[in-house]
């Protein structure tokens, strides 16, 4: 089982640093080298688990994964001039929708299965992300 970050960028489809970017990241965040018991794909925030051996991904693992992503993303050279938007699907397998990250292209000539996405912000207020610009 894998929990990863898909990217809609030519460097994709998955988020991962190269070795030089990783070296810069660990200079600023040496805690990235600490073994926290989570199995990360090299130079990334992608987590994998062996069914029947490891626990399923719970909230604490997902939060650690996002903390790692936010530390790493600033070092991805190809993203330096990009605006980053993160779309999260944390539904369990039996309730997951069959959407692809490619369905949410925010660019000329792309389509989206919905016109907007509503979510609650940190102040518990409804925010709307327009899928069309």
Q: How far apart are CA 48 and CA 46, in angstroms?
A: 7
Run of H or E including 133 = none
Q: Where are the domains of the chain?
A: 2-79, 93-130
Evaluate whether 39 touches 48 at the Cβ level (below 8 Å).
yes
Q: What integer pLDDT is reported at residue 94 of this predicted model?
A: 46
Provide mean pLDDT across the span 47-54. 56
Tell me the two tokens of residue 59. 């909230």
- Whether residue 30 contacts residue 57, with contact meaning beta carbons closer than 8 Å, is answered with no
Closest to 85 measured CA to CA, from 133, 124, 43: 133
Taking residues 4-12, report their average pLDDT: 57
* d(C-alpha 29, C-alpha 68), whole Å: 10
Helix (H) or strand (E) holding 63: helix 59-73
CA distance 8 to 104: 9
The reported pTM is: 0.57
Confidence bin at 122 (pLDDT 50/70/90): confident
């Amino acid at each position: 089982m894998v929990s990863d970050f898909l990217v809609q960028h030519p460097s994709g489809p998955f988020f991962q640093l190269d070795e030089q970017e990783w070296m810069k990241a660990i200079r600023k965040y040496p805690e990235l080298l600490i073994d926290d018991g989570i199995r990360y794909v090299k130079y990334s925030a992608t987590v994998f688990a062996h069914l029947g051996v490891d626990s399923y991904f719970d909230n604490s693992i997902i939060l650690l994964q996002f903390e790692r992503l936010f530390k790493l993303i600033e070092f991805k050279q190809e993203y330096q001039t990009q605006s980053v938007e993160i779309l999260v699907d944390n539904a369990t397998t039996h309730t997951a929708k069959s959407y692809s990250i490619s369905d949410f292209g925010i660019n000329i000539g792309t389509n989206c299965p919905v016109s907007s996405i509503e979510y609650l912000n940190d102040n518990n207020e409804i925010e709307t992300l327009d899928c069309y610009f």
